[in-house]
Structure 1
C-alpha cells in the first residue's frame, strides 16, 4: 500500500488528510506492541509512519476548528453551536456514555492513599472485559468486515490479529494506567490514535455536500474528543488519579494537551478561503482575549462553549491559589498579544516537542499496522533538537535502528513552524526551570500570594474536587 503524500508546506493550497485503507487491497493487522524501550527509540519514532500519521491527523482536525469567513459573516465552531453529528459520531458518544457508566460498577477503595484510588483497577478490569462487546455494539455493520480474509492471505502469524483487536489496544490505552493509577498526555494520545484507526478503516463518512469543509473532523473533535475529556475529568476526580509524565507546575497541564490545540484553533483568525494557510496569528472577531484565560470567572463563563477555557476551568476546579503560581506556563501564554492563531501554532509546536518527542510520554504507545513502527520513506532527517538531549539512554536499543542525529522537526511540522524558531517569540515552553533556567517573573510583578501553604493536607470528600484540592498542594506552591 502506498503511503500518503508528505504534508504540504505552509502556504501551499493542498492540506494532507489521513489515508483510508483500500478494502480491496490485502492488509495484515497486527497486535499493537511496545517498541519504545530506551531513549534512542524515540529517534526512530520521530521518523516512523506512526509519527507522520499522528501529525497529519492532528493538523487535519485542527484546521477544521478554525473559523471561516463567508462574505461579511464569520462562522465559528463553539461547543454550543447547533450541529448535526453523523451516525458514527453518535455511536461513539454512546460508547463513551457506557464507558463512563462503568464507574458506578467500580466503587472506591476505602483504604488511605494520597494519590490513585485502587478502585480504578476495578474500573479498568471491567472495561477490558467489556471492550469487545462495547466496540462491536457501536460500530456500524461492515466497518470491520472485509479485512480478516486479507490478513490471512498476507500471512498468519502470532502477531496477526483482526482489526478489532488492533484498535481495542488504543481504546483501552486512552483511559489511563491501572498499574500506575495515573492519566496523562500519553493516554490522551492513545485515544487520538483510536480515532485515527477508525478514520483509516473508513468508519467516518465523507464530507457532507453543502457544508463548510471539515464538517466530519469538527464532529470528531466537538462530538467525540470533548465528551471523552469530560469522562476523563470525572475519572481523575473520582479515583484521584495521579498525573502521568507531567512536568508538574512547569508543564502546560497535568493531564491533557489536545483541548489547548483545538481550543485555540476555535478562536483563531478566520480563513477567507480553503486554500489559505492556517493562520499564524490573529483572533476571531469578538473572541475572548488570551488574557481572559488567566481570570477564573471568565474561564468559568466560557467553559461550556470553548475547549481552551473548559480545560483551564478544570484546572481551577482542582488547584487552589493564584493562576500564575500553579500554572505559570499557561499564565505566560495568556500574555501573548498576537492572538489565538499565534497560540495555536505554538501549541502544535509544543505538542511535537513536549508530547511526541518525550520518552516518558510516548514510551507506552503501542505500534501495529495502522500506526506503524516502520520508517516513513518520505521522512526527512531534521536537525538535532534540545528536546532529545534529556532522553534516557542505554547501550543498545531494542527497537529498529534509526538514522543517527535525528531530532523533532518532522515533515508535517513544516506547516506549523512559527517565525523566529524556538528562541523567537511564541510559546515560552523552553524557558521553564526544568530546561535549566529560572522561573520567569509574573507579568506585572508578583501578586499577593496569600498565606503560606499548610503543613498538613486534610482529605476532602472522595470523588470530588475538594479531595483533589487537598492532595495537589505541592511543595513548589510556596
Structure 2
C-alpha cells in the first residue's frame, strides 16, 4: 500500500520554479490518493474484515480512511507535522482495535508490534520524507529552532527504544542503560556516525533527514536534540524522556489535537480518575487555568514564541519564566564561564559583544550605536 502511495507522486510532478511555500501540485497528489483510498485499503485488508466493518459505506471504515488521509499532511495548508504523524499512528491503532493483524497481536513476544514499527511505520516515514522534499511541505505548527523536529516526533521514541537495553514484562521501562554495542547518544552530532546507523535505527534515520535538509552546525539548527545528545545515562533515559515530551508537546497541545477527529474507535471519554498532569518544562508554556487572560484577549493558545524568550535566570533578580531551560546556547558557560567547544566541533564564536558603544552629538545622525548606523548616516 505504501509503495502504491509513493508511486502516485510520479503522476503529480511538482510545478517548476522556486517557491517560498509548498508546491501546489501536492493538492493534485492528494486528490489522486483520495480517489484511490478505498481500493488501497481493500487490497491490503482481509476481505472478511472489510465486509464485517461495513465496506466503503461503513462508519468504522469512514473513520479508518479519515485517519489514513490525515497521515499525509494538509492539502489546504501544504504542510506536514506531528499531528499528521499522529493521525497515521491512529490509523494503525484502528486496524489494531479491529483485529486486522490477526492472533499474534498483543502476545508477550511483541513480534507483531516490532513488525508494525519497523515494517510499516518506518516505510511510512520514508514516503512522508519524499513528500516533504518533492512538494516542499512546510512544517505544521513548528516551534522553529526550539522544536525537537520540524516534522516528526515518533521516530525518536521508537529509535531510542531500539537502543535501550533489553527488558522483560516484569520490569518497567529502564531509566538508564543502553543495548550492548549501541552507539553513544553523542554520536548523533557526528555525520559519519549518523550515516553509519541511519539505515538500521529510526532515531539516527530521523537525524539523517535533518542533516539532508538543513545546513550549518547541528547545535545551531537543532539545539534541543543537541542537548539530549549530552545525556550520559544511556538510551533508556532518553526513551523515557521522549515519551514524556511527546505527551506534553503533542498530545497535550491544543494546536495539534484540534485537528484530531474523534469517533467510535477513538472517542472522547474524560477519565474522572485521571491524575492531574505534573507540571514540567514542556507543559510550562501552556495557558494556566488559574491565570485568566488579560482584558480583550481572545480565546485560544498563545503563540509559541510569546513565552519562550523568558529564559530562566536571564536577568539577575528576575524570576525565571516558563521558557525552555535546557535550550541554552552551547557557547554559554554556566555562571558566565568561558565559552566551551560544543560536541562535534563548532566554528569560532568570535570575541564577546562590546559592553558599550560610542555615541555622537545629540540631535545628529551620528548619535546612534556604531554597529547599527544607517549606511547613509554621515559622521
Q: With the length of structure 1 as denominator, give the TM-score of the two structures.
A: 0.61
Quote the Cα distance in structure 2 between the aligned partners of 1:375 and 1:208.
Answer: 27
Residue 278 (structure 1) aligns with:
173
Match of 1:192 among 89, 97, 117: 89
Note the alpha carbon deviations across 1:85-143, whole angstroms, 9 max, x for none.
xxxxxxxxxx1000111101111112542121111010111111111111112111212
In 2, are the aligned partners of 1:207 and 1:213 still within 8 Å (CA)? no
Match of 1:175 among 42, 66, 72: 72
Matched, 1:321 2:216: yes
Note the alpha carbon deviations across 1:346-405, whole angstroms, 9 max, x for none.
0000001111111222221111111112323553344565242289988789xxxxxxxx
* Segment of structure 1 superposing worse, 300-309 or 387-396: 387-396
Matched, 1:257 2:153: yes
Note the alpha carbon deviations across 1:426-456, whole angstroms, 9 max, x for none.
xxxxxx998266951317435543799xxxx
Partner SS state of residue 87, structure 2: helix
Partner SS state of residue 144, structure 1: helix
Quote the Cα distance in structure 2 between the aligned partners of 1:105 and 1:441.
Answer: 45
Residue 145 of structure 1 and its aligned partner are, at CA, apart by: 3.0
Q: 1:327 to 1:395 in 2, by over 3 A?
A: closer
Please give the residue correspondences for 1:142-161 in structure 2 after superposition, counting only pairs within 5 Å.
Answer: 142-148=48-54, 161=58
In 1, are the aligned partners of 2:60 and 2:264 still within 8 Å (CA)? no
Note the alpha carbon deviations across 1:263-308, whole angstroms, 9 max, x for none.
000111221x321111111111111000001111101110100110
Partner SS state of residue 364, structure 1: coil
Residue 138 (structure 1) aligns with:
44
Quote the Cα distance in structure 2 between the aligned partners of 1:131 and 1:177.
Answer: 16
Match of 1:371 among 254, 266, 287: 266
Note the alpha carbon deviations across 1:219-262, whole angstroms, 9 max, x for none.
00000000000000100111111111111111111100000000
Quote the Cα distance in structure 2 between the aligned partners of 1:164 and 1:354.
Answer: 29
Quote the Cα distance in structure 1 between the aligned partners of 2:247 and 2:238.
Answer: 14
In 1, are the aligned partners of 2:23 and 2:136 still within 8 Å (CA)? yes
Structure 2 gaps of 5+ residues are 301-311, 313-319, 332-339, 351-379
Residue 166 (structure 1) aligns with:
63
Residue 103 (structure 2) aligns with:
206
Larger Rg over CA atoms: 2
Q: 1:341 to 1:200 in 2, by over 3 A?
A: same
Q: 1:379 to 1:179 in 2, by over 3 A?
A: same
Residue 237 (structure 1) aligns with:
133
In 2, are the aligned partners of 1:144 and 1:201 still within 8 Å (CA)? no
Residue 254 (structure 2) aligns with:
359
Matched, 1:347 2:258: no
Structure with higher RCO (Cα < 8 A, 6+ apart) = 1
Residue 376 (structure 2) aligns with:
none
Note the alpha carbon deviations across 1:55-97, whole angstroms, 9 max, x for none.
xxxxxxxxxxxxxxxxxxxxxxxxxxxxxxxxxxxxxxxx100
Residue 336 (structure 1) aligns with:
231
Residue 309 (structure 2) aligns with:
none
Residue 208 of structure 1 and its aligned partner are, at CA, apart by: 8.1
Quote the Cα distance in structure 2 between the aligned partners of 1:451 and 1:318.
Answer: 24
Quote the Cα distance in structure 2 between the aligned partners of 1:104 and 1:232.
Answer: 15
In 1, are the aligned partners of 2:105 and 2:113 still within 8 Å (CA)? no
In 2, are the aligned partners of 1:144 and 1:163 still within 8 Å (CA)? no
Residue 374 (structure 2) aligns with:
none
Matched, 1:223 2:119: yes
Quote the Cα distance in structure 2 between the aligned partners of 1:437 and 1:146.
Answer: 52
Quote the Cα distance in structure 1 between the aligned partners of 2:324 and 2:148.
Answer: 17
Residue 12 (structure 2) aligns with:
106
Quote the Cα distance in structure 2 between the aligned partners of 1:208 and 1:234.
Answer: 30
Match of 1:117 among 13, 23, 46: 23
Q: With the length of structure 2 as denominator, give the TM-score of the two structures.
A: 0.76
In 2, are the aligned partners of 1:121 and 1:179 still within 8 Å (CA)? yes
Note the alpha carbon deviations across 1:200-228, whole angstroms, 9 max, x for none.
0000122389x971111000000000000
Partner SS state of residue 102, structure 2: coil
The alignment's C-alpha RMSD in Å is: 3.0
Q: 1:434 to 1:137 in 2, by over 3 A?
A: farther
Residue 144 (structure 2) aligns with:
248
Quote the Cα distance in structure 1 between the aligned partners of 2:322 and 2:42.
Answer: 45
Residue 440 (structure 1) aligns with:
328
Residue 53 (structure 1) aligns with:
none
Q: 1:313 to 1:278 in 2, by over 3 A?
A: same
Residue 164 of structure 1 and its aligned partner are, at CA, apart by: 1.5
Q: 1:134 to 1:287 in 2, by over 3 A?
A: same
